[in-house]
């Protein structure tokens, strides 16, 4: 064993390696991404790892590995679980042979997601056991226990950390590689009665699953991750107003039930507070199946309970159910009663405020401290609106389409990725955004209802492979009239520059043949497919005008690498240099600022200026300046190739 200071996601990855994981697959999505990346970086020769094209594919791949007796891990964020839901639901009925852990990172806030959905509900819906860590240390231990639990009961197991567990850091003891468990799969054994799902098999297994989860509920009531901690009344503290106890009446005891990171916050607060009465803290690390026996004994020992959890009232509902089942009069407070927030991320300050209110501490000093803790008197932090990076090729792509379609009735259907930021002014080029790949299909729906609208669908290169291909097939098959715009920046930029099928590199570091998007599009029946550099603005605009005027389904691939994957950004700037403004030619029309919104274009001392610390020299602003006042930058506008394409690295780009 040795100590390491690690992120929660790194702890999970290291825990999986310590458990002897054989196969790991996933799809990148914040806040889950670093789990797979840690395994890829620290794995040994017996662990296979990949970024799959989407979560459904990843789930099916690890199912096959678990059928063959391997220990397998699949990683995703909460909205990715929606994509993987189809195989997951059937997989629980079929079961597994090797241990299978499903890492789903929830995103309260949400900080970087479309929704705040709570995976604990999905656990109950799919009847899959769920572990809910409250810290990096616990996540490291729990992922190892999850593999054991999966193999013991022949079921997939959820591990559901939330953002602050995923991205928090801790110093913890981790195993040395020579201490890792060695798991040798015994291979797939043919048995159609087990591995082929039929209604009769599902009916029988459904009954077994219900019985198994009842057993698990009892086991979880004894699980060390679930516990009750007592905090005594502080000496000299008065009993809360209205709750004084008469002679012979048992001392007042209040309860707090918490899970995940909210438990860590509650534990810290209770250790620091002068408590007016005895408080019992129930930790629920297994939201499904709910530890009913432990919860029942806890509820019998307290007068009322405050529930602290992210995101939905899962623990709260479990306690209410137990109260009803055991006919207890204990009051359960939380989201349903308005005592805690129904949405958003919990913080230590909020948890402290809720606990103080629950304990009815009304001293003036406490009230003032609470007001300061919640930031009511603090100045507002400066707001940095999300914006496309300086030099981002997506800005040029959006601008080219906008210029080409001036004066026409259009809809620009967006998608999930960096390019969602194209919705911001002054570009204003994202009219819809639902989920990954949806823009392609939404554009078809609008076109069928409003045929005089010129319909565009924007999708990134990674998302094209992940979930947009089927929408394109549907468009061709059903004779839609739309223009597909693929924003190819040679990486999965939004989640940290992971490789995808179009990059020519795998997560194992292998150089492979790229999947050619033009060939894919032509293969499914798209007859017009053109590739253009968006930073060659005039050519890009003319291409959009010409292609969009054609009937049926057609596609334009705007191809230029993300500026953030430059392997030698300093050399790039030295060769290209930022643009500069000629003061004698600049008429201060501010067209560059008004139309592009590039963060490198600023106003200093009342005049347009270039922030040289941000400018990448892409030259887009130079091409729209009406007086030629902007000069320099990249005058050739040739796309740089990555080192995966050019071993000499002359282009200055590489795969992540």
State how beta strands 278-283 and 227-231 pair: antiparallel
Nearest CA to 287 out of 304, 309, 265 is that of 309
Residues β-bridged to residue 158:
102, 130
Nearest CA to 410 out of 350, 483, 348, 352 is that of 483
Distance between CA atoms of residues 37 and 50, nearest Å: 9
438-447 CB burial, b ≥16 within 10 A, e <16: bbbbbbbebb
Span 258-310, pLDDT tens digits: 999 999 999 999 999 989 899 999 999 999 999 999 999 999 999 999 999 99
Query: What percent of the chain stands above pLDDT 70?
Result: 90
Distance between CA atoms of residues 398 and 187, nearest Å: 50
Span 126-140, pLDDT tens digits: 999 999 999 999 999
Instruction: Outline where 71-227 has alpha helix (H).
Output: 78-94, 119-126, 136-153, 163-167, 192-195, 199-220
pLDDT category of residue 649 using cuts at 50, 70 and 90:
very low
φ/ψ of 508, rounded to 5, equals -80, 0
Token couple for 16 = 């999986």
Span 147-156, pLDDT tens digits: 999 999 999 9
Span 495-536, pLDDT tens digits: 777 888 877 778 888 888 888 999 999 999 999 999 999 999
pLDDT category of residue 119 using cuts at 50, 70 and 90:
very high
φ/ψ of 309, rounded to 5, equals -165, 160
Look at residue 339 and tell me whether its pLDDT is greater than 50. Answer: yes
Look at residue 72 and tell me whether its pLDDT is greater than 90. Answer: yes
Q: What angle do CA 85, 32, 310 make, to 5 degrees?
A: 80
Lowest mean pLDDT among 300-304, 486-490, 586-590: 486-490
Distance between CA atoms of residues 612 and 577, nearest Å: 9
pLDDT of residue 247: 44
DSSP element (H, E) containing 326: helix 314-326
State how beta strands 331-333 and 304-308 pair: parallel
One DSSP character per residue, 491-543 reads SBTTTT-B--TTTTB-TT--B-PPPPHHHHHHHTT--EEEEE-TTSHHHHHHH
Average pLDDT score, the chain: 87
Lowest mean pLDDT among 118-132, 368-382, 396-410: 368-382
pTM: 0.83
pLDDT of residue 73: 97
pLDDT category of residue 69 using cuts at 50, 70 and 90:
very high
Instruction: Outline where 386-450 has alpha helix (H).
Output: 393-404, 438-449
pLDDT of residue 493: 77
Neighbours of 516 (CB within 10 A): 12
Look at residue 205 and tell me whether its pLDDT is greater than 50. Answer: yes
406: left (phi over 0), alpha (psi -120 to 50) or beta: beta
532 near 619, Cβ under 8 Å? Answer: no
pLDDT category of residue 642 using cuts at 50, 70 and 90:
very low
């Amino acid at each position: 064993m040795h100590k390491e200071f690690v992120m929660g996601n790194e702890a999970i990855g290291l825990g999986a390696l310590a458990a002897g994981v054989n196969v790991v697959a996933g799809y990148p999505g914040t806040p889950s991404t670093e789990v797979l990346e840690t395994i890829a970086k620290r794995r040994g020769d017996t662990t296979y790892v990949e970024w799959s094209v989407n979560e459904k594919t990843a789930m099916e791949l690890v199912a096959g590995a678990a059928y063959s007796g391997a220990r397998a891990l699949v990683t995703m964020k909460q909205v990715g679980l929606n994509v993987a839901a189809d195989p997951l639901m059937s997989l629980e009925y079929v079961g597994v042979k090797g241990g299978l852990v499903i890492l789903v990172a929830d995103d309260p806030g949400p900080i970087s997601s479309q929704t705040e959905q709570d995976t604990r509900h999905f656990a109950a819906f799919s009847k899959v056991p769920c572990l809910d860590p409250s810290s990096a240390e616990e996540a490291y231990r729990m992922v190892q226990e999850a593999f054991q639990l999966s193999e013991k009961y022949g079921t997939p197991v959820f591990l559901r950390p939330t953002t602050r567990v995923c991205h928090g850091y801790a110093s913890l003891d981790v195993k040395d590689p020579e201490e890792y468990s060695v798991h040798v799969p015994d291979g797939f054994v043919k048995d159609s009665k087990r591995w082929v799902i039929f209604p009769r098999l599902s009916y029988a297994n459904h009954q077994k699953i219900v019985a198994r989860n009842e057993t698990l509920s009892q086991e979880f009531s004894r699980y060390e991750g679930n516990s009750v901690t007592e905090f005594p009344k502080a000496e000299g503290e008065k009993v809360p107003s209205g709750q004084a106890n008469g002679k012979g009446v048992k001392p007042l005891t209040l309860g707090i039930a918490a899970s995940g990171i909210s438990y860590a916050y509650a534990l810290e607060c209770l250790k620091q507070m002068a408590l007016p009465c005895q408080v019992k803290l129930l930790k629920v690390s297994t939201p499904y199946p709910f530890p009913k026996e432990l919860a029942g004994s806890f509820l019998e020992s307290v007068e009322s309970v405050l529930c602290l959890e992210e995101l939905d009232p899962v623990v709260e509902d479990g306690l209410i159910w137990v109260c009803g089942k055991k006919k207890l009069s204990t009051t359960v407070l939380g989201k349903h009663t308005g005592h805690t927030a129904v949405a958003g991320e919990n913080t230590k300050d909020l948890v402290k405020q809720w606990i103080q209110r629950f304990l009815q501490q009304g001293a003036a000093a406490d009230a003032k401290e609470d007001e300061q803790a919640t930031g009511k008197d603090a100045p507002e932090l400066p707001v940095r609106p999300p914006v496309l990076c300086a030099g981002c090729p997506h800005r040029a792509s959006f601008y080219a389409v906008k210029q080409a379609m001036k004066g026409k009735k259009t809809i620009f259907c967006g998608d999930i990725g960096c390019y969602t930021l194209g919705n911001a002014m002054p570009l204003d080029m994202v009219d819809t955004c639902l989920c990954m790949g949806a823009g392609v299909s939404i554009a078809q729906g609008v076109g069928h209802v409003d045929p005089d609208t010129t319909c565009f669908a924007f999708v990134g290169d990674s998302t094209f492979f992940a979930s947009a291909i089927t929408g394109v097939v549907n468009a061709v098959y059903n004779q839609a009239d739309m223009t597909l715009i693929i924003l190819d920046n040679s990486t999965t930029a939004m989640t940290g520059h992971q490789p995808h099928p179009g990059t020519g590199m795998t997560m194992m570091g292998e150089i492979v043949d790229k999947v050619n998007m033009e060939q894919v599009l032509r293969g499914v029946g798209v007859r017009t497919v053109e590739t253009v550099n968006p930073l060659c603005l005039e050519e890009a605009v003319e291409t959009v005008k010409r292609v969009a005027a054609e009937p049926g389904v057609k596609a334009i691939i705007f191809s230029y690498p993300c500026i953030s994957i430059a392997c030698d950004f300093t050399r790039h700037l030295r060769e290209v240099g930022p643009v500069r403004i000629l003061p004698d030619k600049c008429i201060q029309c501010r067209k560059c600022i008004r139309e592009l919104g590039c963060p490198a274009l600023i106003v200093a001392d009342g005049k347009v200026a270039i922030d040289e610390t941000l400018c990448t020299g892409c030259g887009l602003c130079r091409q729209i300046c009406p007086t030629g006042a902007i000069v320099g930058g990249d005058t050739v506008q040739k796309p740089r190739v990555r080192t995966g394409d050019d071993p000499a690295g002359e282009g200055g780009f590489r795969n992540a």
